[in-house]
Amino acid sequence: MTIPGACAGALAAFIQVAALSAMDPPTDHPAGTDNAVAPEEPADYWTGPINGPVPTTLAGATVTDTQTLSSLVKDGNVVLVEVSNLPHRPEKLAAGAVWLPKPHQVIPGSLWIPGAGVGNIAPDVDATYRDQLAHATNNDLERLIVVYCHERCWLSWNAAKRAVRYGYRNVHWYPDGIEGWTAAGLKSVIAEPSVGPFGSPTASGSQ
Residue 175 belongs to a domain? yes
| Residues 93-110: tens digit of each pLDDT | 677 776 566 788 999 999
Give me the residues of the chain with pLDDT under 50, please.
1-3, 5-8, 10-33, 196-207
Residue 198 belongs to a domain? no
**pLDDT score recorded for residue 182:** 97
Burial 152-181 (b: 16+ CB within 10 A, else e): bbbbbbbbbbbbbeeebebbbbbbbbbbbb
What are the distances in angstroms from CA 6 to CA 132, 154, 167?
13, 28, 24
**pLDDT score recorded for residue 3:** 43
Residue 29 belongs to a domain? no
**pLDDT score recorded for residue 87:** 65
**How far is the first Cα of the chain from the last one, in angstroms, to the nearest whole number?**
27
Query: Which domain, by its residues, includes 161?
Result: 5-21+52-87+102-190
Q: How far apart are CA 188 and CA 104, in angstroms?
A: 10
**pLDDT score recorded for residue 35:** 59
- State the CATH number of the domain containing residue 155: 3.40.250.10
**pLDDT score recorded for residue 188:** 95
Residue 30 belongs to a domain? no
**pLDDT score recorded for residue 200:** 38
Residue 144 belongs to a domain? yes
Residue 145 belongs to a domain? yes
**pLDDT score recorded for residue 90:** 64
The pTM of the full predicted model, rounded to 2 decimals, is: 0.77
**pLDDT score recorded for residue 176:** 97
How many domains does one find in the chain? 1
Q: How far apart are CA 16 and CA 4, in angstroms?
A: 18
Residue 151 belongs to a domain? yes
